[in-house]
Chain A
Amino acid sequence: MKAIFIVFGQTLNEPVLDILDSEGVRGFTRWEETFGRGSYKGEPHYGSHAWPTKNSSILAVVQDYQVDGVMNRLRSLNQKAEAQGLNAFVWPIEGGL
């Protein structure tokens, strides 16, 4: 099992959920509003006066075979809408309930 942490500009909400659905990912946790900024480029998403945009974040724990599919499709979504600052991180999960 792997955990995928996806952070993206709020407006990508629907396409990201679509990807999870179409890749057969059932379980996830979503934070409607999160704030942050990218490591290299892009605008910060602070929900403030200067930087009014906000992020949403999703933490999904998926089967190993699902990771590539999800990541590929997220990559292509990011290419289409780079300004939304979509990012995804994968790490292994040791266990759960």
Chain B
Amino acid sequence: MKIYETAVRKPVSTILIFIGAIILGLFSLNRLSVDLYPEMDLPALSVLTTYAGASAADIEQNVTKVLEDQLNTVANLKTMTSSSQDNMSVVTLEFEWGSNLDEASNDVRDVLGRIETYLPDNVDKPMIIKFNSSMIPIMFLYATADESYNALYKMLDEKVANPINRINGVGAVSISGSPTREVQINVDPQKLEAYGLTVEQIGQIIAQENANVPAGAIDIGSERLSLRIEGEFPESMLMKDIVVSNINNKAVFLSDVAEVKDTVKTMTVEETINGEKGVRIIIQKQSGANSVEIAQAVRKALPELRNTLPPDVKLEILQDTSKHITNSINSLTETVMYAFIFVVLVVLFFLGRWRATFIIVLTIPVSLMASFVYLLFTGGTINIISLSSLSIAIGMVVDDAIVVLENIVQHLERGARPKDAAIYATNEVWLAVLATTLTVVAVFLPLTMASGIAGIMFKPLGWIVSITVVVSTIAAITLTPMLSARMLQFRASHTYKGMGIIFKPIDRILDKMDNAYAGLLTWAVRHRTTTIVTAFIIFVASLALLQLVPTEMFPTSDNGQISASVELPVGANLEQTRTIAHQLGNRFRELCPEITVLSISAGADDQAGFAALFGNSGVNTIAFTVVMDDWSKRKEAGLRGMEAVAEEMRKEIARYPEVVKYSVSPGGGGGGMSSNTVEVKVFGYDFNTSERVANALADSMRTIKGTRDILLSREEMRVEMQVDFDREKLARFGLNTASAAMFVSNRINGLTASQYREDGEEYDIIVRYGEQYRTSVEDVENIMLYNNTGQSTRLKEVAKVVERFSPPKIEHENRQRVITVSAALSGAALGDVATATAEKIRHLDIPEGISVAIAGSVEDQQEAFTDLLTLLMLIIILVYIVMATQFESFRMPFIIMLSVPFAFTGVFLALWMTGTPLGMIALIGAIMLVGIVVKNGIVIVDFTNLQRERGLSINQAVITAGKSRLRPVLMTTLTTILGMIPLAVGSGEGSEIWKPMGIAVVGGLTFSTLLTLLVIPAIYSAFGNRQLKKERKANRINA
């Protein structure tokens, strides 16, 4: 028994199987996590090597270069960049997309093991750091306090950070900008010298005094008691009374030579939130955890956490990345719902039967559920790509059911019983249904083979559409006939009774449309040359239009966040940085009423970890984080969008002459995906020449319209104080550079003598010169050095303190020195700026030994576009093959394929009219069109062939087929178009991202359908008549 027959004869099993599938789908849906994009971790590794005391140039020569030469051999390596700076070398290896990072890191580890001996002796073991998108914080909280400010860190650590850390999925919670307690022993160098003491001795004494020592046990009588010496200071102030020396039988107390302060660390960073001093709490998730769920849990926990804090501490959410995700996904879900409703209405409009509509629409949830199961099993998420795939699929999954149901209805009209009609009607069309499904799969399945970043977007799209369409076909040949057998009855035509009255005008409209089309078609077939030539001209003209459509990688979406970084001249201290930060902060709040939260972080926390390692951070940097209301709310209130606010901020920052470098990134920059930048790499060994070229380039790029924040990756030369030891003198005195340097470091930077314990927490005890004794060059020169025999000398006797420009950070890409000039974009398309930049580069005078190349998003874009075009070719060939086997003809698929160019014409036209740039997302839409458009062609050509086989003349066949297939074609096309319209006109949050796809599909499909309906019949008749003439000629010759 055939599958459809089984389904009709066993309705209980059929219905239960589908109900089971739906339950499985709902179960999967319930378990899926929500995210903005599919997981797209950049496959990159960093090798971090520290070499204490080496300058940037030394690091470059002795560490970075050695590493680079060897790491270059690692498999799948795409680009290798490095930065060499004082004390540290970072080599970043970027691999091809889809590479296995675990394998790569093993390879890297092997290489490192091999070359360890080639590295200088004092180099620390190189560290491998893996990148992961979960490192990007998902949430920021902030806390402000008045009286409790000094105790804030401990309080937040215990009462906020720890409970949040216990929430499922939270990876790390760190507190930034909070004061940390330390015990400072600020010595007076003169007094120290007078008593013949050194910082080291003081440190040693403190360490020895502050110790708990177990001393064994003693037996007293029958008991055994342990003996302990509790030397640790129960209170920090007791340290004042430590005896550090004995002179003339008189004790010298620590308080005689130093000041003991139990205080907070000198801050190198100051965080303010809306003008108040505060602390930021950064929450990161574990890899693979659900950001939205975590954010919800944190939100829920907040009120309770607040209760545990003193009343003057305020704890609020600063930034919640999940909000944008939730809003975007919600608005996209709404779009999918609208698509569903539109499809239902279209089916009802054309069929005019409630029950038939119900049967057809039922295939939508059934097939969509299958994609949820797929997502769950492959570890996917509900994201923009998977949801838009669903929205695309909605319009396509009903097609098969429509074909099957239409044939069943036809049999019913001919007097068959529902059960028989269902079985035999399905039998007649199931092969054709399978064939059209195969064409759709031929379009979408190759998408899963896309590589690189395009692959990440297309893989889920390809799989979801392929799976849903296949499942919809299965439903169409089982569920649809089964339900038809049960629910449909024969009814000649509309009775227009009751609710049916609304179908009366609809039927009239449809009939009129049929007749009008038949008239138009007759004209088009008679004047087929005119029709074909006109269509061809339109297509060629649209190619010219392509020049006018700008290109981009990804659209940016307004998530209500702006981050800005401002850099003051190197050497600015925290005080200066803070002043500028406050001034700018106040101006921002005055100028932009859109800002709801403004968080400023002035300076840099030296414990900030990754940020400090990879970014330029120093006391001279300020980071602004702006949070605004949701875009929809702002729009209602008549406020500006993210870009406009960012522009205003840029203008304001530019007014400050103190600022040497700044960048304002709307969208928060962290998203990676949403940043459109044009980068130009200037390769060249000579620092001065390459810097000159880079500067010239930056100047000329500033003149390009739409570029903002032109930045050079190389930092300005930095002024430093360096101590130059005279080795000879040093040796004569009995010291070496390392030991002498240690003296300097202990006095200026401080010596961590021991830990002071209180309530289970440990605080550093730092011994160093008091602040007033380390403010000038003389202070450094007067540092007293001691040798092993206790002789002393001043630093200036053996060394010189000089001011120098230290070489900047040295960056490499693929082992060449490079300076990156980057430009952010505002109101200009990536492609245009890239072209303009290329033009500027051509006019640039580039000296020998320097080469210049455009990179950044442009590079990615070109790669992705090339990938997609290759795919497009593959798809076209596959579709051709599927159709050729279906028609057993070379000519028919060719005729059908001719409708594809018009789809592209429609895409260009729609993009141009709406001013939408051609990006990845629009391109997805264009590629999908191939499948959808071809389907229409198949329907028309197939039916025309059928009419010919039934003995009609070519022109008759073309017109009859056209007239009778108009409704099915319009119906399936309209379901797809209307399914996409909510995407195209969507105004919800995040709609900017998928809008281009909606516009591309709606434009392309509308245009191509209108043309296909006329051009394909015209071409068919032209081909057919030529064939006929040939045959006649052949016959005549034979005769």
Name A's B-contacting residues (CB within 8 A): 9-15, 48-54, 80-84
Contact = CB atoms under 8 A, between A and B. Distances in A.
Contacts of A53: 424, 428
B414 A81 contact: yes
B158 interface: no
A46 B419 CA distance: 21
A69 to B, nearest CB: 21
B210 to A, nearest CB: 96
B153 to A, nearest CB: 80
Contact of B415 (A14, A52, A81): A81
Interface string B418-458: 01110111001100000000000000000000000000000
B946 interface: yes
B147 interface: no
Contact of B416 (A9, A49, A50, A51): A9
B457 to A, nearest CB: 40
B415 A84 contact: yes
A48 B423 CA distance: 17
8 contacts: A9-B416, A11-B423, A12-B420, A50-B949, A52-B428, A53-B428, A83-B413, A83-B415
A11 B950 CA distance: 22
B414 to A, nearest CB: 3
A10 to B, nearest CB: 5
B416 A11 contact: yes
B414 A9 contact: yes
Most buried by A among B411, B415, B946: B415
A80 B950 contact: no
A11 B428 CA distance: 12
A2 B413 CA distance: 33
Given A49-B946, A51-B950, A53-B428, A13 B415 contact: no
A12 B949 contact: no
A83 B410 CA distance: 10
Contact of A11 (B420, B429, B946): B420
Contacts of B421: 11
Report, nearest first, the 8 A-B pairs whose CB atoms are least far apart. A81-B415, A11-B416, A83-B414, A50-B949, A11-B420, A52-B428, A10-B424, A11-B424
Contacts of A83: 413-415
Contacts of A84: 414-416
Given A53-B428, A81-B414, A14 B946 contact: no
Contacts of B423: 11
B424 A54 contact: yes
Contacts of A82: 414-415
Contacts of B420: 10-14
Contacts of B576: none
B425 to A, nearest CB: 8
Given A11-B420, A12-B420, A50 B950 contact: yes
B949 A11 contact: no
B945 interface: yes
Interface in B390-424: 411, 413-417, 419-421, 423-424
A15 B417 contact: yes
Contacts of B945: 49
Nearest to A11: B416
Contact of A50 (B414, B415, B419, B946): B946
Contacts of A13: 420
A14 B411 CA distance: 14
B33 to A, nearest CB: 48
Given A14-B419, A49-B949, 10 more contacts: A9-B416, A10-B424, A12-B415, A12-B420, A13-B420, A54-B424, A83-B413, A83-B414, A83-B415, A84-B416
Interface of B: 411, 413-417, 419-421, 423-425, 428-429, 945-946, 949-950
B415 A80 contact: yes
Nearest to A47: B428
A32 to B, nearest CB: 11
A14 B421 CA distance: 11
A13 B946 CA distance: 26
A80 B492 CA distance: 12
Nearest to B413: A83
Contacts of A15: 417
Contacts of A52: 428-429
Nearest to B947: A50
Contacts of B419: 14
A64 B414 CA distance: 32
B1 to A, nearest CB: 12
A84 B946 CA distance: 20
A18 B425 CA distance: 21
B949 A81 contact: no
Contacts of B417: 11-12, 14-15
A43 to B, nearest CB: 9
Contacts of B413: 83
A48 B639 CA distance: 66
A53 B415 CA distance: 14
Nearest to B418: A11
Given A11-B421, A13-B420, A14-B420, A48 B949 contact: yes
Nearest to B417: A14
A11 B420 CA distance: 5
Most buried by B among A9, A80, A82: A9
A8 B417 CA distance: 13
Nearest to A54: B424
A92 B1014 CA distance: 58
A80 B413 CA distance: 10
Contacts of A10: 420, 424
A77 to B, nearest CB: 8
A14 B485 CA distance: 13
A13 B417 CA distance: 9
Nearest to B942: A49
A78 to B, nearest CB: 9
A31 B136 CA distance: 71
A28 to B, nearest CB: 18
Contacts of B429: 52
A49 B948 CA distance: 11
Contacts of B415: 12, 80-84
A78 B428 CA distance: 22
Nearest to A83: B414
Contacts of B428: 52-53
A64 B921 CA distance: 76
Nearest to B411: A11
A12 B414 CA distance: 10
Nearest to A50: B949
A11 B419 CA distance: 8
A50 B946 CA distance: 5
Given A10-B424, A11-B421, A53-B428, A81 B416 contact: yes
A15 B418 CA distance: 11
A41 B83 CA distance: 87
B436 to A, nearest CB: 15
Most buried by B among A50, A80, A82: A50
Contacts of A14: 417, 419-420
Nearest to B407: A52
A12 B946 CA distance: 25
A48 B948 CA distance: 13
Most buried by A among B419, B420, B945: B420
A84 B410 CA distance: 11
B31 to A, nearest CB: 45
A83 B414 CA distance: 5
B186 to A, nearest CB: 98
A48 B431 CA distance: 12
Nearest to B428: A52
A15 B417 CA distance: 8
Contacts of B949: 48-50
A57 B228 CA distance: 109
A12 B416 contact: yes
A51 B951 CA distance: 11
A82 B417 CA distance: 13
A49 B413 CA distance: 20
A15 B945 CA distance: 34
A4 to B, nearest CB: 20
